[in-house]
Amino acid sequence: MSTRKRIDSEATAESLHSAAIHLLRRLRHADAASGLNSARLSALSVIVFAGPITLGRLADAEQVRPPTMTRIVNALAAKSLVTKTASASDRRTIHLSATMKGKRLLLQARRRRIRSLARQIAILSPHEQKTLHRAVAILNSLAARPVTL
Amino acid sequence: MSTRKRIDSEATAESLHSAAIHLLRRLRHADAASGLNSARLSALSVIVFAGPITLGRLADAEQVRPPTMTRIVNALAAKSLVTKTASASDRRTIHLSATMKGKRLLLQARRRRIRSLARQIAILSPHEQKTLHRAVAILNSLAARPVTL
DNA sequence: TCCTTTTTATTAGCTCAGCTAATGATCTAT
DNA sequence: ATAGATCATTAGCTGAGCTAATAAAAAGGA
């Protein structure tokens, strides 16, 4: 029973891993149209939806080191998609906010990206779609947890 | 109904996208122990399991341009994980095969990577695991299809 | 209060993935 | 025999990711 269960977990893990790799590679093409790549879109998305946020917290959310996030954010700032403002209470930290342009661009890019994915998903049967829908909810609840690896 | 369905597809797509990004970021850490990153492991995996394969076909399988694959393969060859041999019938092409060392390394790396994922998955309820298992099968059937984007 | 320690972000410097454009080498077809 | 197509590589770029070192600000203890 225990053995049986572990084998299933590993098979699932294996195929999940492969799926994730190929999924992201396909999405690169859709993302290209926005002028932003997936790392930047993902960061911008957090800034847009998680309101003003410090660089450190954003790096944590994106599971990336601060220097990496500094560069991503600088690229976004150079395109006037986000603004960096020093915090009044703690001047070591900066608050990142999306500009109107940033919000608009994100929503457009997201539509493109999501639509290209959705087009694939739409091929599936309603039942398969339901399964997928439930599965990604589960995955994202995992991703939201503190790193247990 | 049609609208309803499309909205669901997009929501699923959205959250699938985010899940894939964060999943791969977590796996980077597990992969680090092998000395190979996910692009190289993925390529090596195809070479190991899809037998001798040409560079072009491997690039297609990995959804990457030939120059990118040349470099990945060269790195693998430099570590004696794969061998490149000119085809007898068409000397423009090369046949890529995994060495014993390559096969061994892949299997070990895969165990580590998969185990770290499986550890996360094991937290889930049996029912959640079943859902996930079915969903990744669906995803991989999508990935296997010719690009419909 | 002053000095040390801790925290936050940045800079510097590296590896490596991804791309396009240009080349070289071989095959194919006229 | 030669012109065109195909396969891989090289060159040269952008950008993600890392660690180590630095700067600047906050927090805390003597």
pLDDT tens per residue across span A109-123: 878 877 777 777 888
A24 interaction partners in chain B (CB closer than 8 Å): 20-21, 24
Of A9, A18, A147, the CB nearest to B129: A9
Query: Could you tell me the domains of chain B?
Result: 19-144 (1.10.10.10)
Tell me the whole-structure pTM to 2 decimals.
Answer: 0.78
Distance between the alpha carbon (CA) of A84 and the C1' atom of D18, Å: 24
Give the whole-angstrom CA distance, residue B41 versus residue B3.
41
Give the nearest partner residue to A139 out of B19, B30, B137, using CB atoms. Answer: B19
Question: Within 13 Å of residue B143, how many CA atoms lie on the same side as its CB?
Answer: 23
Please give the pLDDT value at position A128.
86
Please list the pLDDT of chain B residue by residue as tens digits (149 residues): 444 544 466 677 777 777 777 777 777 777 777 778 888 998 999 999 997 999 999 999 998 999 999 999 999 999 999 999 998 889 999 999 999 999 999 888 878 877 777 777 888 888 888 888 888 888 877 766 544 33
B contacts of A48 (beta carbons < 8 Å): none
- The pLDDT value recorded for residue A143 is 63
Task: Identify the weakest region by mean pLDDT among A4-13, A43-52, B7-16.
Answer: A4-13
Contact between A88 and A52 under an 8 Å Cβ cutoff? The reply is no
The answer to whether B47 and B101 have CB atoms below 8 angstroms apart is no
Decide if pLDDT at A3 tops 60. no
Does the C-beta of B55 come within 7 A of strand C? Answer: no
* B121 close to B42: Cβ distance less than 8 angstroms: no
Mutate to test the interface with A, among B15, B40, B45, B60 (most CBs of A within 10 A): B15
- H and E: helices and strands count for chain A: 6, 3
Looking at residues A2-13, what average pLDDT do you find?
A: 59
Sheet of A53-54: strands edge to edge?
A53-54, A94-98, A82-86
Q: Name the minimum distance, in Å, from the CA of A39 to any CA of chain B.
A: 8
The CA-based dihedral angle spanning residues A58, A59, A60, A64, taken in that order and rounded to the nearest 10 degrees: 150
**Protein-to-nucleotide distance from the CA of A67 to the C1' of D21, whole angstroms:** 13
Asked if B135's CB is within 8 angstroms of A135's CB, the reply is yes
pLDDT at B46: 93
Residue identified by tokens 């068409």 is B90
Q: At what angle do helices B66-78 and B38-49 cross, to 10 degrees?
A: 80
- What pLDDT does B139 receive? 80
Alpha-carbon gap: A89 to the closest alpha carbon of chain B (Å): 31
Q: What's the gap in Å between the CA of B98 and the closest CA on chain A?
A: 19
As a whole number of angstroms, the distance between CA A149 and CA B82 comes to 30
Interface touch B149/A120, C-beta < 8 Å: yes
What one-letter code names the amino acid at B70? T
Determine phi and psi for B51, rounding to 5 degrees: 60, -165
| Phi, psi at A145, each rounded to 5° | -70, 155
Q: Which residues of A touch B115 (CB under 8 A)?
A: 10, 13
